[in-house]
């Protein structure tokens, strides 16, 4: 199953597209702006992007997605050949005129996925992760900082291991609640959820000995840092 992020400002079109994609067995998240697209990108295996957005120029969103994420993308254009060309130049893997037929879109999604498949990293599980002087063993669930063993609770370990495995990106509180606490994405945005994540992050920082192992990115979430470097919480 492919998790598709649909970026579509028109509610009726977004609903119709979502229903059709789910019929093809896909999991779908829908957002209606470029800002929301960038905030929800980390959960997507594939992006369908309408270039006509209310807040940010669609071509700018397309370029930003291509520069910051390793994910296939199809853009929807409403302005004919020139807009399709601009979409492709902005980084889209394919560009489709609106209106379109769902069978053609499904075929194009499959074609783009086939082209991307050789670029995907190997799926073999990684049981150890190292970030600077921090070493995590997923099998023994052991954590060491500069050789010092650190005792963590189950959730603290799961949280740290998830952040370390995704050290190249910023992870939102919503994503952490969904992955670590198994709270559905739609329910993972409340104040209680935010306090839960923040409490565990603060506890981890204390146990690891330096706050800059886990860096707060204001308004977004957290990422792994390298203690003793330039990162600051």
Residue percentage of the chain with pLDDT more than 90: 47
| Common-topology check for domains 3-119 and 128-224 | no
The residue-averaged pLDDT of 183-194 equals 63
**What is the per-residue pLDDT across 10-20, written as a single tens digit (0 to 9) for each?**
999 999 999 99
Confidence of residue 4 (pLDDT cuts 50, 70, 90): very high
Global pTM? 0.53
Q: Per the omega criterion (within 30 degrees of 0), is the bond before 184 cis?
A: no
Going by CATH, does the domain composed of 128-224 fall within 1.10.10.10? Answer: yes
What lies within 8 Å, CB to CB, of 86 at 6+ separation is 59
Q: What was the pLDDT predicted at 230?
A: 41
Residues facing 73 on adjacent strands: 47
Do the bridges between strand 214-217 and strand 27-31 make them parallel or antiparallel, or are there none, so unpaired?
unpaired
Domain boundaries, the chain: 3-119, 128-224
**What is the per-residue pLDDT across 108-139, written as a single tens digit (0 to 9) for each?**
999 998 888 755 544 445 578 998 899 999 88
Q: Within its chain, how far is the Cα of 222 from the centroid?
A: 13
**What is the per-residue pLDDT across 5-52, written as a single tens digit (0 to 9) for each?**
999 999 999 999 999 999 888 889 999 998 888 888 877 889 999 999
* CATH T-level topology, domain 3-119: Rossmann fold (3.40.50)
**In the 3-class helix/strand/coil scheme, how is 205-227 assigned residue by residue?**
HHHHCCHHHEEEECCCEEEECCC
């Amino acid at each position: 199953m492919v998790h598709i992020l649909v970026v579509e400002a028109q509610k009726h079109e977004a609903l119709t597209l979502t229903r059709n994609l789910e019929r093809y067995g896909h999991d779908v998240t829908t957002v209606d702006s470029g800002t929301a697209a960038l905030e929800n990108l980390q959960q997507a295996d594939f992006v369908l992007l309408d270039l006509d957005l209310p807040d940010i120029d669609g071509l700018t969103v397309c370029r930003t997605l291509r520069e910051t994420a390793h994910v296939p993308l199809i853009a929807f254009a409403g302005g004919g050949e020139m807009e399709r060309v601009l979409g492709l130049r902005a980084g889209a893997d394919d560009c489709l005129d609106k209106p379109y037929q769902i069978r053609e879109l499904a075929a194009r999604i499959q074609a783009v996925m086939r082209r991307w498949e050789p670029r995907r990293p190997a799926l073999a599980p990684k049981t150890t992760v190292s970030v600077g002087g921090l070493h995590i063993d997923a099998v023994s669930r052991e954590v060491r900082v500069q050789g010092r063993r650190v005792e963590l609770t189950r959730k603290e370990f799961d949280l740290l291991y998830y952040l370390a495995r995704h050290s190249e990106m910023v992870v939102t509180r919503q994503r952490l609640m969904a992955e670590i606490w198994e709270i559905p994405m739609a329910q993972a945005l409340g104040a209680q959820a935010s306090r839960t994540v923040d409490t565990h992050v603060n506890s981890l920082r204390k146990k690891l000995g330096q706050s800059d192992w886990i860096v707060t990115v204001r308004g977004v979430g957290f990422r792994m840092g390298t203690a003793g470097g330039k990162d600051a919480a």
